[in-house]
């Protein structure tokens, strides 16, 4: 362990004596060599020895980062640019213009059975008279049971509702010109009133907390943009509505973490399972931003009890996350249970409201999916401000808004409609579930929505997703009925199917049951 200064002196000595031929003017040369030698031999020690390599390393990283090729890069065209355009025959010779990598991912994403079945249905739709061998659509949650009332109303009220009394330019301005993208105030007021009626007077909604958009689909996406950043996640009890996969994941970059519910619990939400999923996500380093529930649930049809709502609110408050309640079927509960909105609970108790958001719309309760009307109801000022600005991307056509202001303000019509609708849903549900029961297919208890959640696990060849999809395929291509398999809804127990009954008329039911029977019979034989 010789003290450094002496070694330095030695080195100096050495270089002086050993390398004069290389360094004629050794003055400058010395100044360079000595520190260098010091480095190599560990002189200047820790400081130099760490600073310089670190600096080099960072420079290298920086250089690599700048020149990192992006994923969708295409090689530059090899054609030299000349004046003569004829030589520049671009057809076929320049590389094809590539879309963004996110576009390619979206375009190529394979369709889940949920969409595949719907497509098949639209090309070969069943009709009792004109196409009796067509595919019967039980996969789209649409309600055609009370269209007659809607038709009558529109027929008698259309002109007035759209054009008023056509005095001069006023009404055309109210129809054709620019209006706030987040919805006419008159419509927000009318929608608030409608929601109040639908939820049977249990909650009063404030129109200024409403943002309107062209369907619940953009509402969910907008809200997702507002609550989470790319890489964040939402917890969502499964089975869940297959559309959420597209609505939430496609562009926002938010992950969906399913929280499995079990048939033994009637597929109702368990806070313990939520807790578990949250903790697992945390371990993985994924930041959970919200819990998304649908109430009445889709595809099962459960209503959330008051107690569960309390527990849920406790949970999100404790974890400091948001709660999104998709209540789009609020007015379509046909069972004995009573629908309770999260708004009711939040306003009754001293919960922090800024974390509660409700999704609503007119596609289900008013059977107007073609009108494209969705509602975001939030208590959070920042979310409202951001959503208001993003409304420009999914704004509702003003003539439709005018028409709806008129329709929703007709409380007598609305009351009659809601009542008749519930009655018909109840009746159809009973008939359908009974029909399935006679085939030995039990359905989960449900009180809301347009569907029943049927257990066909007895009839699948192997108790697995593969077996389930085989049965789904048989039902679609042999029996020609389109239902939604549980795997498309991320159900962890195979064999469950969602069957929507609200596009059928009573006389279609025997036809459907017969077709299902033909499959179940053949499956029985095989067992």
162 binds other proteins (CB under 8 A): yes
67 binds other proteins (CB under 8 A): yes
Report the SS3 class of residue 153: helix
23 binds other proteins (CB under 8 A): no
139 binds other proteins (CB under 8 A): no
**Closer of 94 and 409 to other proteins (Cβ):** 94
9 binds other proteins (CB under 8 A): no
Minimal distance, residue 470 CB to other proteins, in Å: 27
Catalytic residue among 364, 377, 459, 481: 364
d(CA 95, CA 114): 36
| Residue (of 302, 284, 281) closest to 293 by Cα position | 302
Which residues between 24 and 53 bind other proteins (CB under 8 A)? 38-46, 48-50, 52-53
Catalytic residue among 326, 340, 360, 377: 326
Question: Nearest 5 degrees, angle CA 483-CA 486-CA 492?
Answer: 175
326 is catalytic: yes
For 121-131, b/e burial (b = at least 16 CB within 10 A) is beeeebeeeee
Minimal distance, residue 264 CB to other proteins, in Å: 27
18 binds other proteins (CB under 8 A): no
Which residues between 395 and 414 bind other proteins (CB under 8 A)? 395-400, 403
**Closer of 349 and 434 to other proteins (Cβ):** 349
The one among 113, 210, 221, 273 contacting other proteins by CB under 8 A: 221
Minimal distance, residue 518 CB to other proteins, in Å: 28
Listed in sequence order, the DSSP H helices in 228-299 are 243-249, 271-284
The answer to whether 497 and 486 are in contact (CB under 8 A) is yes
H or E, element range at 499:
strand 496-500
Minimal distance, residue 149 CB to other proteins, in Å: 10
Which residues between 357 and 376 bind other proteins (CB under 8 A)? 363, 367-373
Per-residue contact flags (x/-) with other proteins for residues 446 to 485, judged by CB under 8 A: ----------------------------------------
The one among 151, 276, 282, 306 contacting other proteins by CB under 8 A: 151
Stretch that binds other proteins, among 12-20, 173-181, 195-203, 504-512 (CB under 8 A): 173-181
Cα 373–chain centre separation: 17
Listed in sequence order, the DSSP H helices in 131-179 are 147-163, 170-176
The one among 22, 306, 389, 466 contacting other proteins by CB under 8 A: 389
Cα 323–chain centre separation: 14
**Closer of 31 and 389 to other proteins (Cβ):** 389
Task: Tell me the two tokens of residue 235.
Answer: 């917890």
Which residues between 177 and 196 bind other proteins (CB under 8 A)? 177-179
96 binds other proteins (CB under 8 A): yes
281 binds other proteins (CB under 8 A): no
Task: Tell me the two tokens of residue 487.
Answer: 């795997």
User: 96: Cβ–Cβ under 8 A, 6 or more apart, which residues?
Assistant: 74
**Closer of 209 and 447 to other proteins (Cβ):** 209
Residue carrying the six token digits 């994924």: 286
User: 315: Cβ–Cβ under 8 A, 6 or more apart, which residues?
Assistant: 271, 274, 275, 291
328 is catalytic: yes
User: 514: Cβ–Cβ under 8 A, 6 or more apart, which residues?
Assistant: none
Which residues between 242 and 271 bind other proteins (CB under 8 A)? 246-247, 250-251
11 binds other proteins (CB under 8 A): no
Report the SS3 class of residue 205: coil
Tell me how far apart the 2 most distant CA atoms of the chain are, in Å: 111
The one among 354, 464, 477, 522 contacting other proteins by CB under 8 A: 354
d(CA 170, CA 159): 15
- How many residues of this chain bind other proteins (CB under 8 A)? 128
Catalytic residue among 328, 359, 396, 481: 328
Minimal distance, residue 316 CB to other proteins, in Å: 8
| Residue (of 198, 222, 195) closest to 206 by Cα position | 195
Task: Tell me the two tokens of residue 150.
Answer: 């809607």
The one among 70, 110, 123, 526 contacting other proteins by CB under 8 A: 70
Compute the CA torsion angle 296, 298, 299, 305 (nearest 10 deg). -30
Report the SS3 class of residue 375: strand
**Closer of 84 and 526 to other proteins (Cβ):** 84
Q: Would you name the residues annotated as active-site residues? A: 241, 326, 328, 364
């Amino acid at each position: 362990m010789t003290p450094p200064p002496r070694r330095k002196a030695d080195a100096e000595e050495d270089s002086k004596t050993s390398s004069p031929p290389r360094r004629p003017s050794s003055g400058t040369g010395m100044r360079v060599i000595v520190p260098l030698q010091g480095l190599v031999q560990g002189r200047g020690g820790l400081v130099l020895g760490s600073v310089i390599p670190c600096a080099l390393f960072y420079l290298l990283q920086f250089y690599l980062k700048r020149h990192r090729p992006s994923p969708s890069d295409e090689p530059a065209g090899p054609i030299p640019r000349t004046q003569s355009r004829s030589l520049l025959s671009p057809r076929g010779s320049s590389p094809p213009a590539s879309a963004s990598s996110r576009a390619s991912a979206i375009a190529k994403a394979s369709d889940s059975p949920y969409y595949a079945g719907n497509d098949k249905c639209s090309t070969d739709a069943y009709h009792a008279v004109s196409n009796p061998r067509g595919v019967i659509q039980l996969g789209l949650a649409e309600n055609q049971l009370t269209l007659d009332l809607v038709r009558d109303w529109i027929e008698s009220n259309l002109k007035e509702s759209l054009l008023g009394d056509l005095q001069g330019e006023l009404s055309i301005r109210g129809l054709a010109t620019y209006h706030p993208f987040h919805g006419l105030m008159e419509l927000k007021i009318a929608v608030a009133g409608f929601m109040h009626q639908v939820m049977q007077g249990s909650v009063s909604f404030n129109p200024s907390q409403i943002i309107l958009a062209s369907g619940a689909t953009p509402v969910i996406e907008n809200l997702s943009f507002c609550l989470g950043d790319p890489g964040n996640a939402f917890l969502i009890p499964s089975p869940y509505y297959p559309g959420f996969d597209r609505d939430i994941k496609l562009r926002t970059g938010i992950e969906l973490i399913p929280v499995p519910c079990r048939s033994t619990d009637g597929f109702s939400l368990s806070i313990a399972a939520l807790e578990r999923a949250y903790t697992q996500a945390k371990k993985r380093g994924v930041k959970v931003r919200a819990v998304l529930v649908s109430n009445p649930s889709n595809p099962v049809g459960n209503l959330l009890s008051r107690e569960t709502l309390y527990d849920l609110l406790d949970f999100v408050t404790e974890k400091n996350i948001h709660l999104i309640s998709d209540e789009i079927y609020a007015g379509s509960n046909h069972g004995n249970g009573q629908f309770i909105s999260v708004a009711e609970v939040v306003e009754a108790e001293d919960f922090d409201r800024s974390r509660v958001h409700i999704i609503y719309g007119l596609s289900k309760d008013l059977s107007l999916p073609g009108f494209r009307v969705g509602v975001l109801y939030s208590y959070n000022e920042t979310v409202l401000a951001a959503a208001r600005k993003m409304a420009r991307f999914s704004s509702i056509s003003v003539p439709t808004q005018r028409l709806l202001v008129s329709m929703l303000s007709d409380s007598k019509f609305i009351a009659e409609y809601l009542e008749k609708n519930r009655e018909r849903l109840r009746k159809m549900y009973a008939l359908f579930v009974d029909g399935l029961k006679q085939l030995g297919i039990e359905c989960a208890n449900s009180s809301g929505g347009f569907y029943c959640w049927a257990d066909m696990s007895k009839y699948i060849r192997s108790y697995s997703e593969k077996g389930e999809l085989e049965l789904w395929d048989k039902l679609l291509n042999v029996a020609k009925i389109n239902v939604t398999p549980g795997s498309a809804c991320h159900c962890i127990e195979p064999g469950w199917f969602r069957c929507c009954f609200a596009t059928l008329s009573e006389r279609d039911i025997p036809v459907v049951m017969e077709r299902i029977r033909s499959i179940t019979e053949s499956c029985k034989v095989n067992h």
